[in-house]
Amino acid sequence: MTSTQQDPTRTTEAALVLDGIDKRFGQVHAVKDVSLTINRHEVLGLIGENGAGKSTLLKILTGIYQPDAGSIEVNGTQVRFRRPQDSVAAGIGVVHQEQSLLTNLSVAENLAMTASGSRRAGTRLGFYRWGRINADAAATLDRVGASIDPRTIVGDLSFVDRQMVEIARAVQVDEMVGGTPLVILDEPTSVLERNETEILEREIRTLKEIGSVVFVSHRLDEVLRICDRIAVMRHGELVAERRTDEVTEDELFQLMVGRAAQATQRDDRAGGASQTPVVAVQGLTRRGSFEDVSFEVRSGRTVAIVGTMGSGRESVCRALFGAETWDGGTIELEGTSLSAWSTVKAVKAGVAYVPSERRVEGMVGGLSAAANLTLSHPGSTRRGPFLDPRARNRTAATWFERLDVRPSDPSLPLGSFSGGNQQKVVMAKWLMAEELKVLVLDHPLRGLDPGAKEIVNEQIRAACRDGVAVVLLPDTLEEALEMGDDILVMRDGEVTGRFDLSTEAPTSLDLLEKMV
C-alpha cells in the first residue's frame, strides 16, 4: 500500500485519461473518438440524451465492453480492461442505475462479498468471521459518511440508504489500489426523491475528498450543483467540456440535444370539463401501507401526489389500477363503487397505469413494439378473436410518428428500444384507447432524457385536454408544480397536505414541509 502516501495537494493529477476511445456495434458507431481526462479529487458530470453513448463509454470503463480503438490510463499507467474484474483491480468502482444488493442479506455481508479475496477477507477456512465482517463494514460506511448499522438486513433499509451501501461497496475498490478510488455513479438520483438527493450530494462531496467521481445524470440542475466539470456527449461524440462555473442550464440543454429548450410553463387550462369527479377515493385504507386517503380527480385535471419513499402513494396508485387490494374505504369510478377490483377490470373500465418499473411491469420486451402497443386495447386491430396485423401496423405507425419513436420500425421487439422510446410506446399503449378515462402515472419521466420527457409531458397534457383524469406521481416537486392542478402530499401513508393550484401557489418548500 505504497500509494497511500500520495501528496494530497497534487489535486490536478489525472486519475483517468481516455484517449481516442472508439466503439462500433456493427453499423452503429456508439462512441466516436472520445478523449477525456478525469482529475483526482474532481467530480465530473457526464450528460447526454439516451443513446448519446454514455452507457457504452461507462461499460468500456468498467470492462464490460472492449474499445475498438484508443487507450485508457489509470493513475499514469496504461491499462486494458478485458473483464469487469480488471477495472475493479484498477480502482474503478461503479454504482449502477439499478440497485444490485442482495436484499435478504445484511449490509455487512453485502460489503464483504466484494471485499473477499482482498486483505480484508471476511472468512477463515470458509467460515464467516462475523466480528471482522461487521467491523470492516462499519469502517467502510463510516468512511463514506453513512450512519447505517452494518447488521441491518438490506431489505429493511430505505432506498436512499441502500444507495449509500452501494456507494460504500463501490468505494471498497480503493483497497486494491490504495487510497484514491474512482467511483462512477450511473444516474444515482433518477430514483431518489429530492430530499434524498440532498443526502446523496453530501455523500458525493465526501467521495471527492478521497477520490474522483464520475456522475451521470439527466437532471441538469443537479449536475450543475454537484459537479466541478461537465462533459457533454451527443451522438457518440464528446461535444463539449465545461467548467460548472462557466455554463448555464440552458446552454447545457442546447449542447446536449442540439436545440434550444421549449418553454415548459404551465398553460392556463380552462379547468374545462364536467364537475362530476371521474375518480373519487374515500377513506381508502390498506393496513401497513396507507390510511384514510381521500381525493377526487375530475375530468381533464391532474392530481399530483408527492411524498418520500414509504409515503404509500405508490400503493394508492396500484389500488386504483387493481394491482393491490384495500381493507377499507371506497374508490368510485364515475359514480360506481368498485368491488373485486382487478387489473383486468381496470383496463376494461378505461383505467391506465404507467408503472415505474417499466421493463418488468410496463411492457413485454420480447414482443414487438406494435404488439405491445395494442396489447391492452386491441380496438380496431382485432377482428373477433383474430388479430389484424395490417390494422395493427397502421396504428403503430401513426403513434410512432406522433411520439417520434426511434427506431421507427414497430416490428422490432420493444426490449431492444432505448428507455425513452420504450416509455413513449408504453404511454401510447394507453393513450390509443378510446375508453381511456383515468391515467395513473407512476414516475413517468424516470430515467428519460430531456427530449423524451418533453414528448411524454406533452402527451399527458393532450390527454388532459381530451378529458382524461390524471393521477401523477412525479419524480420531482418541480414536476408536480408544473404538471399538477391539485397536489396531494402524503407522509407515512397519510395525506398531510392538499393544494389547489388554481387558487394557491405553494413553493417546493411548502410541499417539502408536509412531506418530512
Partner 1 sequence: MSQTTTATPTSPAPTADGTPRRRARSGSWWQRLGPPAVFLALLLLIVVLQPNFFSGGGIRIVALQATPILLIALGQAIVIGVGSLDLSNAAMGLLAAILTASTLGSLGVVSPVLCVALVTLVGLVNGLVFAYTQVPSFALTLGTLGILQAASLVLSDATTVYVTANADVLAWMFNVALAGLPAAFWMAVVLAAVLWAVLRFTTVGQGMTAVGLNETGAIFSGLRTRWLKVTAFTISGFTAGLAGLTIIAQSGAASSFGLGSDLLLPGIAAAIVGGTAITGGVTNPINVVFGAATIALLPIGAAAVGVPPQAQSLVYGAVIIVAVALTMSRARGAVVK
Any contact of residue 367 with partner 1 (CB under 8 A)? yes
Q: According to CB under 8 A, which residues from 69 to 98 bind partner 1?
A: 96-98
Cα–Cα distance list, 394 to 209, 210, 388, 397 (Å): 56, 56, 10, 5
Taking CB under 8 A as the criterion, the residue among 67, 362, 450, 506 binding partner 1 is 362
Taking CB under 8 A as the criterion, the residue among 429, 437, 453, 514 binding partner 1 is 429
Choice between 21 and 137, CB closer to partner 1: 21
Q: Is 468 helix (H, G, I), strand (E, B) or coil?
A: coil
Q: In this structure, what is the dihedral angle of CA atoms 220, 225, 229, 230, given to the nearest 10 degrees?
A: -10
Yes or no: say if 179 and 4 are a contact pair by the CB < 8 Å rule.
yes
Closest approach, Cβ 477 to partner 1, in A, equals 25
Choice between 186 and 486, CB closer to partner 1: 186
Choice between 96 and 151, CB closer to partner 1: 96
Span between the terminal Cα atoms of the chain, in Å:
44
Choice between 59 and 313, CB closer to partner 1: 59
Judged by CB under 8 A, the stretch of 106-114, 120-128, 339-347, 469-477 that binds partner 1 is 339-347
Taking CB under 8 A as the criterion, the residue among 228, 251, 324, 361 binding partner 1 is 361
Q: Among the residues of 271-385, which ranges form H helices?
A: 313-320, 343-348, 369-373
Query: How would you classify residue 63: left for phi > 0, otherwise alpha for psi between -120 and 50, otherwise beta?
Result: left
Do the bridges between strand 438-442 and strand 469-473 make them parallel or antiparallel, or are there none, so unpaired? parallel
Cα–Cα distance list, 193 to 314, 383, 512 (Å): 13, 45, 11
Any contact of residue 55 with partner 1 (CB under 8 A)? yes
Rounded to whole angstroms, how far apart are CA atoms 269 and 485? 9
Choice between 53 and 91, CB closer to partner 1: 53
Closest approach, Cβ 450 to partner 1, in A, equals 15
Closest approach, Cβ 28 to partner 1, in A, equals 5
Judged by CB under 8 A, the stretch of 49-57, 154-162, 480-488, 502-510 that binds partner 1 is 49-57
Closest approach, Cβ 97 to partner 1, in A, equals 5
Closest approach, Cβ 384 to partner 1, in A, equals 9
Any contact of residue 343 with partner 1 (CB under 8 A)? yes
Choice between 136 and 314, CB closer to partner 1: 314
Any contact of residue 347 with partner 1 (CB under 8 A)? yes
Rounded to whole angstroms, how far apart are CA atoms 401 and 201? 39
What DSSP string runs through 230-258?
Answer: EEEEETTEEEEEEEGGG--HHHHHHHHHS
Cα–Cα distance list, 449 to 57, 75, 456 (Å): 17, 32, 11
Judged by CB under 8 A, the stretch of 206-214, 218-226, 289-297, 351-359 that binds partner 1 is 351-359
Say which DSSP state 498 is in. Answer: E
Yes or no: say if 436 and 379 are a contact pair by the CB < 8 Å rule.
no
Choice between 25 and 128, CB closer to partner 1: 25
Given the C-alpha cell 499507467, which residue does it identify?
Answer: 77
Any contact of residue 391 with partner 1 (CB under 8 A)? no
Beta-carbon contacts of 48 under 8 Å, excluding residues fewer than 6 positions away, are 54, 232, 233, 234, 256, 449
Given the C-alpha cell 489509470, which residue does it identify?
Answer: 74
Grid cell locating 309: 419513499
Choice between 93 and 236, CB closer to partner 1: 236
Choice between 227 and 452, CB closer to partner 1: 452
Closest approach, Cβ 427 to partner 1, in A, equals 13
Rounded to whole angstroms, how far apart are CA atoms 230 and 241? 6
Any contact of residue 263 with partner 1 (CB under 8 A)? no
# of chain residues touching partner 1 (CB under 8 A):
59
Taking CB under 8 A as the criterion, the residue among 34, 52, 111, 168 binding partner 1 is 52
Any contact of residue 359 with partner 1 (CB under 8 A)? yes
Neighbours of 17 (CB within 10 A): 17
Any contact of residue 360 with partner 1 (CB under 8 A)? yes
Closest approach, Cβ 25 to partner 1, in A, equals 3
Grid cell locating 26: 456493427
Yes or no: say if 81 and 90 are a contact pair by the CB < 8 Å rule.
yes
Rounded to whole angstroms, how far apart are CA atoms 433 and 463? 11
Any contact of residue 341 with partner 1 (CB under 8 A)? no
What DSSP string runs through 398-415?
Answer: HHHHHTT-SS--TTSBGG
Beta-carbon contacts of 12 under 8 Å, excluding residues fewer than 6 positions away, are 39, 40
Judged by CB under 8 A, the stretch of 161-169, 329-337, 384-392, 456-464 that binds partner 1 is 384-392
Taking CB under 8 A as the criterion, the residue among 186, 193, 314, 479 binding partner 1 is 186
Taking CB under 8 A as the criterion, the residue among 21, 30, 183, 252 binding partner 1 is 30
Any contact of residue 379 with partner 1 (CB under 8 A)? no
Taking CB under 8 A as the criterion, the residue among 63, 67, 122, 355 binding partner 1 is 355
Q: Is 142 helix (H, G, I), strand (E, B) or coil?
A: helix
Closest approach, Cβ 362 to partner 1, in A, equals 7
Q: Where on the chain is the footprint of partner 1 (CB under 8 A)?
A: 25-28, 30, 50-56, 58, 64, 96-98, 186-187, 236, 321, 323, 343-344, 346-348, 353, 355, 359-367, 371-372, 375-376, 378, 382, 385-387, 389, 406-407, 412-413, 415-419, 421, 429
